[in-house]
């Protein structure tokens, strides 16, 4: 691989800056019941981030039960054998802790951030709700009101926002007949029909130590974590009920090119997007990395080809980007998107944008712009170390889909190995003229403009 002197020098700067961290390394080990543990030392403040990741997400839901993974995550805060109704949060906050949880297609994670002396208590609480959850089946009780909360959450996140409504439709198209097809929060009518029994069945099947990963980041040693984890989690018996086989499968190519539109009186600025099928870092690690680098050059920032052509030179757009969702277990979309400058039609914008894309596909990238993109992605990995919870999320999310800590540590070097040829090859393979795509037009209501 040939690099310009300046770019090579910067790469070395970044590389050696990371190498300086040689002393910094995560520890990983496994408890006797199969629960994986990751420790990420960070001694800057007397604080720890404690997370339990379960290897279950919305892609594991049974037909007709969309939203159960996420609704169940809410129910985990309700009540256990030894913790009274709504007391879980009270205990954590009384301990000076912050807590929350989140659900994705691939996993569900629960976390507490506390002053370090409280770590053992947090483990005790998470271990308790791993085995002793109580789901109240009163037909007017807390499960039902939590269902209403989730319906409000869906309205707030999706239904209030025309752009997100359109995106939900597009992603369902990209992932047609794949376990990612229905959005994580679920369909409104299916969420409305979920029952306490659905919650209990889900809990019994998926919540067990061998299906979980413990991540602790912060001012703590691996030995301290091991001792506490053996004490609180190590004693829990594996259930063996979580299927070792996830429902993951390669995403099928888009069957046919289609145009989806959404008109809404709230839209005052149209938007144009095209979604292609991209790569995943788990399934196609090299191509996914090359695609990330290539899309950084094509439409990542202000120096990118799309921004410079569409926004700066031709002044047809106020924004123009490309990006890909490569961090799910299975393949995700690679997206071209732009918002027109005042007075410019989506048709004019599309013609100009695709002309620029085709020009890039034909001519390829220069060494210098690829070097800049590589260095940016590698430097981002150093800046990311500033956030303790961000690091815990990075490792937890990657391990929950079967990756390893070593792969994360190797990322800066791997990204620096991407050549211009590899980057353009990945972009060509994804956006090539023969590939189907879903185009999305976000439009004002008729007569509004």
61-69, 245-253, 334-342, 419-427 -> range binding another protein (CB under 8 A):
334-342
Burial class (CB in 10 A: 0-12, 13-18, 19+), 179: buried
How many residues bind another protein (CB under 8 A)? The answer is 77
Nearest distance in Å: CB 368, another protein: 9
Find how far residue 48's CA is from the centre of its chain: 22
Query: H/E/C letters for each residue in 222-259?
Result: HHHHHHHHHHHCCCCCCCCCCCCCCCCCCCCCCCCCEE
Closest by Cα among 47, 386, 94 to 216: 47
Closest by Cα among 153, 73, 67, 147 to 108: 73
Nearest distance in Å: CB 441, another protein: 17
* 413 is an interface residue for another protein by CB under 8 A: no
3-state secondary structure of 374: helix
Beta carbon nearer to another protein, 25 or 341 = 341
Question: Looking at 164, 325, 382, 425, which residue binds another protein (CB under 8 A)?
Answer: 382
Question: Looking at 311, 324, 334, 440, which residue binds another protein (CB under 8 A)?
Answer: 311
3-state secondary structure of 302: coil
* 140 is an interface residue for another protein by CB under 8 A: no
Question: Looking at 32, 43, 221, 436, which residue binds another protein (CB under 8 A)?
Answer: 43
The angle at the Cα of 372, spanning 1 to 10, to the nearest 5 degrees, equals: 75
53-61, 195-203, 266-274, 324-332 -> range binding another protein (CB under 8 A):
266-274
> Which is the catalytic residue, given 61, 73, 146, 168?
73
Distance CA 105, CA 90 (A): 29
Closest by Cα among 83, 282, 126, 131 to 214: 126
Site for another protein in 60-89 (CB under 8 A): 77, 86, 89
Nearest distance in Å: CB 282, another protein: 27
Nearest distance in Å: CB 344, another protein: 10
* 376 is an interface residue for another protein by CB under 8 A: yes
Beta carbon nearer to another protein, 205 or 263 = 263
The residue whose two tokens read 């297609």 is 105
* 230 is an interface residue for another protein by CB under 8 A: no
Distance CA 369, CA 14 (A): 17
Nearest distance in Å: CB 94, another protein: 5
* 148 is an interface residue for another protein by CB under 8 A: yes
Distances (CA, A) of 69 to 65, 192, 223, 338: 9, 14, 33, 34
Beta carbon nearer to another protein, 80 or 211 = 80
* 385 is an interface residue for another protein by CB under 8 A: yes
What backbone torsions phi and psi does residue 266 show, to the nearest 5 degrees?
-80, -15
Nearest distance in Å: CB 210, another protein: 30
Distance CA 290, CA 378 (A): 13
Nearest distance in Å: CB 265, another protein: 5
Length reported for the chain: 449
Question: Starting from the edge strand earliest in sequence, which strands make up the sheet with 333-340, in order?
Answer: 258-264, 438-444, 271-277, 333-340, 317-324
* 152 is an interface residue for another protein by CB under 8 A: yes
Question: Looking at 69, 379, 401, 423, which residue binds another protein (CB under 8 A)?
Answer: 379
* 153 is an interface residue for another protein by CB under 8 A: yes
Rounded to 10°, the helix 420-431/367-383 angle is 90
Residue 73 known to be catalytic: yes
Question: Looking at 1, 30, 32, 46, which residue binds another protein (CB under 8 A)?
Answer: 46
Question: Looking at 2, 44, 245, 433, which residue binds another protein (CB under 8 A)?
Answer: 44
Question: Looking at 62, 149, 193, 255, which residue binds another protein (CB under 8 A)?
Answer: 149
Q: How many CB atoms lie within 10 A of CB 116?
A: 17
* Number of helical H runs and strand E runs in the chain: 16, 11
Beta carbon nearer to another protein, 89 or 348 = 89
Site for another protein in 84-123 (CB under 8 A): 86, 89-90, 93-98, 113-115, 118
* 272 is an interface residue for another protein by CB under 8 A: no
Question: Looking at 315, 345, 351, 404, which residue binds another protein (CB under 8 A)?
Answer: 315
* 218 is an interface residue for another protein by CB under 8 A: yes
Distances (CA, A) of 257 to 73, 277, 333, 334, 354: 36, 12, 14, 15, 15
* 192 is an interface residue for another protein by CB under 8 A: no
Sign of CA dihedral 437, 443, 447, 449: negative
Contact map string, positions 285 to 304, toward another protein, x by CB under 8 A: ----------------xxx-
* 51 is an interface residue for another protein by CB under 8 A: no
Distance CA 38, CA 217 (A): 8
Q: Which residues are catalytic?
A: 73
């Amino acid at each position: 691989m040939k690099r310009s002197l300046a770019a090579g020098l910067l790469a070395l700067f970044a590389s050696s800056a990371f190498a300086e961290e040689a002393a910094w390394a995560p520890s990983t080990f496994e408890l006797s019941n199969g629960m994986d543990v990751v420790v990420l030392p960070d001694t800057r403040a007397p604080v720890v981030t404690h997370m339990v990741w379960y290897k279950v997400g919305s892609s594991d839901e049974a037909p007709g039960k969309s939203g159960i993974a996420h609704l169940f995550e809410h129910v985990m805060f309700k009540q256990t054998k030894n913790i009274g109704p709504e007391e879980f949060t009270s205990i954590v906050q009384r301990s000076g802790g912050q807590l929350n949880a989140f659900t994705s297609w691939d996993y569900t994670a629960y976390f507490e951030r506390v002053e370090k002396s409280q770590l053992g208590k947090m483990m005790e609480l998470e271990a308790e709700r791993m085995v002793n959850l109580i789901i109240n089946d009163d037909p007017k009780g807390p499960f039902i009101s939590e269902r209403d909360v989730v319906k409000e959450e869906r309205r707030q996140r999706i239904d209030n926002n025309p752009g997100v409504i359109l995106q939900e439709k597009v992603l369902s198209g990209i992932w047609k007949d794949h376990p990612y097809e229905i959005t994580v929060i679920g369909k409104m009518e299916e969420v409305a029909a979920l029952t306490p029994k659905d919650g209990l069945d889900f809990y019994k099947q998926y919540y067990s130590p061998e299906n979980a990963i413990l991540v602790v980041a912060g001012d703590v040693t691996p030995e301290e974590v091991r001792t506490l984890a053996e004490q609180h989690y190590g004693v829990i018996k594996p259930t063996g009920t979580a299927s070792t086989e996830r429902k993951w499968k390669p995403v099928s190519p888009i069957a046919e090119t289609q145009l989806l539109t959404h008109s809404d009186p709230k839209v005052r600025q149209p938007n144009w997007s095209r979604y292609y099928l991209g790569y995943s870092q788990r399934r196609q690690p090299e191509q996914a990395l090359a695609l990330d680098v290539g899309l950084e050059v094509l439409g990542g920032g202000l120096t990118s080809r799309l921004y410079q052509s569409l926004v700066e030179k031709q002044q047809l757009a106020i924004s123009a980007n490309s990006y890909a969702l490569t961090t799910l277990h299975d393949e995700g979309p690679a997206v071209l998107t732009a918002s027109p400058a005042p007075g410019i039609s989506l048709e004019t914008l599309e013609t100009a944008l695709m002309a620029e894309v085709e020009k890039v596909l034909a001519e390829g990238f220069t060494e210098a712009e690829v070097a800049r993109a590589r260095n940016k992605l590698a430097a981002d990995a150093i800046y990311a170390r500033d956030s303790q919870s961000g690091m815990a999320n990075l490792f937890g999310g990657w391990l929950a889909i079967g990756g390893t800590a070593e792969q994360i540590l190797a990322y800066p070097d791997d990204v620096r190995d991407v050549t211009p040829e590899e980057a353009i090859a990945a972009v060509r393979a994804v956006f090539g003229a023969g590939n189907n795509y879903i185009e999305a037009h976000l439009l004002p209501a008729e007569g509004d403009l």
